[in-house]
Structure 1
């Protein structure tokens, strides 16, 4: 879900201000806490953060887990991680490429005949250069509309059909435009090649090897099990708890449930070369003139202070997440917010946090 929070967090990630080049040193935790408190004062209900800075590791939080309570956000609570799911799916596709079971520049039609335009390649799915219309634009994701489909089960093919019933947005490979449909198709590709459900493939290839015991890709379970904060939005002026909904509507594009600890472990392993072979590791973060800030399932940016970071953000009703790491994994941050029923601009607080951690 690309929401107002998306824009502000991405802007903060890319516009971190600093007076000079990055230098070695410890993170000022007081500054980080100030940033977290600013995020909450801006209108978010709660925020949790996990930071790695060289040998320093810590968690921090601000705000509440639920409205009308004093319960703080769990420091390692589970949350819906949204489009960070895409990095997991892209990693599996790249693993299959490393095993010669998938070819990045082959047409998707080779593996899934007749599903999408024959010119679209596997790489174009992962890099959002396919031209596929984003099926989410055809769904009611405004609060009142989403209530009508909140508990509906969706088949991946239904979501793809919403996209392919429209013409391509542009000729494949000519520009990049974020489309969630790309990753629904990528999920179907994984299932076709492996003969197994996507969630089981991700579990076998990533979750179990890395001991990500608090991470899963639920299909129809509308609950978040274990400690977690709640997210809200406003309908007719009233705060509605949106924490529970059927996650099948987001499937391979964004149904992941995780924790800051598990996401930190995953991105450290991915950046550290533990999940991909060298050739696929290079493809992961290779950008192009058409896609200058996005590799294959990861964003790649150079902050104004000179620090390169890559990772992904994620947004679904009630939750917003951001996971970033430097290529050498020495500096990492995973942040999640649970929303209140109001609107605010948390960019100043997020900018303060990211500036302190990475710059």
Structure 2
């Protein structure tokens, strides 16, 4: 399979996800456009973004086109319930508009020179259909946009890097290629020596991306993991919550010096807990001293589902770990309280705030916080396997894919993809989400204790000093059957996100964190840890 074939496959996979999102029966040209708009760092995505047409804008334009089409036949969009097919095929066929767009793309250059810009140009050469109508309604000059694509191609005639699994750019420096090869070896070792079901990693190097996997997504079927796989991200959820809190601080809707008592009267109370002595900054950097509710598994197991308030009640039934600001201890209770404060300050659900403020603007189509006790992972995903913290290599393995996320909520309940996490942290580290004052607040760290080695903690983010002396920034997360790391260089231009769909590691690694650390060394230190 050629590099372009691999790239086109990745585009079709993303388009298939868009088909499942809107319930269509076929892949059409507008699904290809959404796929290209979500392909962060590609030539097509950059051209679209330069015209103010990112993934969210494309989706909005398509929604407007649909409403406009309804109104033209006298149907009120507000009263119309879009019918969904009773069965959407797992592998929908290409519709006529998509086939025509691809045919035009293939005719525009030799196969070895084809890239995302040629695909975009093939879509833009249609004169009738959903895409032209959506562009017009969005105020986008289709001819001008097509000319912009042609200018980009004339300035860069060489083939674009294919970013499907393991594909390398022909122009990638040898050192970069060697780093990718080292990461691929580590992925294989994580499965063959570490005993994991499967592992994936996605690397962002400036405008280039690289993705690879080892093992399987499903041990029953043998299906491989894919770039579109969604997974539970555990405590990486905290970074999203902290970002929302800091945006609210920037808007003057709250202050980091506000106390928990001000926003949540009498909630942090009992057994020497006092919410009037705990401010929001202490919640976000884990210096509050509030007991970690997940340390009381017996209390958690008494209920099948949980509310944020019930989780806090479990915590305050125990004395504080220390007086506020006098120490550091990782406590999931801190972020449950932070999530509750977000909802009190905005009057909206935390899940909605994360979607509206982060996921939608950045085009993170696979990233969301489940509502309530919804146990499913919506969209393509791997199975999640757990040994329930038993260290015996022969311990039984359980499928934990479907679980009640209400136990974790703001502290660790979110779902995402490797590409989405790289895009989010790249933007966050690069200063494109928060104003300078809040950016400074987020990345001001305090020392940690009994946590990740050589780590410091800011507001929902951490820094880790690697054995080679390099420091990376991001966050990690672990839930039953899903452990993830997303770390990068301070400016966000280089990112690595990895996920394993098992919560154990053999072969010399104590746990998946050892594997992740070796992956970061391979990327940022230029050597493998094995």
CA distance in structure 2 between the aligned counterparts of 1:121 and 1:347, rounded to whole angstroms: 31
Given that 2:190 and 2:505 are in contact with CA atoms closer than 8 Å, whether structure 1 keeps it comes out as no
CA-to-aligned-CA distance 1:106-145 (integer Å, 9 cap, x gap): 211111111112201100000000001100011259xxx9
**Are 2:521 and 1:355 aligned?**
yes
CA distance in structure 2 between the aligned counterparts of 1:27 and 1:304, rounded to whole angstroms: 22
**Are 2:425 and 1:273 aligned?**
no
CA positional deviation for 1:288? 3.3
CA positional deviation for 1:330? 2.1
Given that 1:31 and 1:352 are in contact with CA atoms closer than 8 Å, whether structure 2 keeps it comes out as no
Given that 1:65 and 1:72 are in contact with CA atoms closer than 8 Å, whether structure 2 keeps it comes out as yes
CA positional deviation for 1:270? 0.8
Aligned pair partner of 1:223 in 348, 352, 376: 376
**Are 2:284 and 1:126 aligned?**
yes
The aligned counterpart of 2:221 is 69
SS in 2 for 1:209: helix
The aligned counterpart of 1:326 is 489
CA positional deviation for 1:209? 0.8
SS in 2 for 1:352: helix
Instruction: Label 1:208 to 1:56 Cα distance change in 2 as closer, same or farther (>3 A).
Output: closer
Instruction: Label 1:249 to 1:278 Cα distance change in 2 as closer, same or farther (>3 A).
Output: same
Trace 1:154-173 onto structure 2 (pairs within 5 A): 154-173=306-325
CA distance in structure 1 between the aligned counterparts of 2:222 and 2:503, rounded to whole angstroms: 14
**Are 2:460 and 1:309 aligned?**
no
CA distance in structure 2 between the aligned counterparts of 1:113 and 1:79, rounded to whole angstroms: 35
Q: Which moved more, 1:67-76 or 1:341-350?
A: 341-350
Trace 1:1-359 onto structure 2 (pairs within 5 A): 25-28=175-178, 29-41=180-192, 42-116=194-268, 117=274, 118-140=276-298, 152-219=304-371, 220-234=373-387, 238-288=396-446, 293-339=456-502, 345=509, 346=512, 349-359=515-525
Instruction: Label 1:222 to 1:288 Cα distance change in 2 as closer, same or farther (>3 A).
Output: closer
Relative to its length, the structure with more strand (as a share) is 1
Instruction: Label 1:128 to 1:77 Cα distance change in 2 as closer, same or farther (>3 A).
Output: same
SS in 2 for 1:83: helix
CA positional deviation for 1:347? 5.6
CA positional deviation for 1:285? 0.6
Given that 1:39 and 1:347 are in contact with CA atoms closer than 8 Å, whether structure 2 keeps it comes out as no
CA-to-aligned-CA distance 1:66-105 (integer Å, 9 cap, x gap): 1233211122200001110000000011111111111112
CA positional deviation for 1:253? 0.3
**RMSD, aligned CA:** 2.4
Q: TM-score, normalised by structure 1?
A: 0.86
CA distance in structure 1 between the aligned counterparts of 2:360 and 2:490, rounded to whole angstroms: 23
Instruction: Label 1:108 to 1:279 Cα distance change in 2 as closer, same or farther (>3 A).
Output: same
Given that 1:27 and 1:53 are in contact with CA atoms closer than 8 Å, whether structure 2 keeps it comes out as no
The aligned counterpart of 1:9 is none
Which structure is higher in RCO with an 8 Å CA cutoff and minimum separation 6? 1
CA distance in structure 2 between the aligned counterparts of 1:353 and 1:140, rounded to whole angstroms: 36
CA distance in structure 2 between the aligned counterparts of 1:302 and 1:313, rounded to whole angstroms: 14
Instruction: Label 1:32 to 1:290 Cα distance change in 2 as closer, same or farther (>3 A).
Output: closer
CA positional deviation for 1:273? 1.2
Instruction: Label 1:48 to 1:205 Cα distance change in 2 as closer, same or farther (>3 A).
Output: same
- The unaligned stretches of length 5 or more in structure 1 are 1-23
Given that 2:426 and 2:494 are in contact with CA atoms closer than 8 Å, whether structure 1 keeps it comes out as no
Given that 2:448 and 2:456 are in contact with CA atoms closer than 8 Å, whether structure 1 keeps it comes out as no
Q: TM-score, normalised by structure 2?
A: 0.59
- The unaligned stretches of length 5 or more in structure 2 are 1-173, 269-273, 450-454, 526-530
Instruction: Label 1:348 to 1:170 Cα distance change in 2 as closer, same or farther (>3 A).
Output: closer
CA positional deviation for 1:287? 1.3
CA distance in structure 2 between the aligned counterparts of 1:127 and 1:138, rounded to whole angstroms: 21
CA distance in structure 2 between the aligned counterparts of 1:352 and 1:182, rounded to whole angstroms: 30
Given that 1:85 and 1:254 are in contact with CA atoms closer than 8 Å, whether structure 2 keeps it comes out as yes
CA distance in structure 2 between the aligned counterparts of 1:131 and 1:224, rounded to whole angstroms: 33
Report the count of equivalent residues: 331
CA distance in structure 2 between the aligned counterparts of 1:167 and 1:306, rounded to whole angstroms: 38
Relative to its length, the structure with more helix (as a share) is 2
CA positional deviation for 1:234? 4.0
Q: Which moved more, 1:34-43 or 1:276-285?
A: 34-43
SS in 2 for 1:227: coil
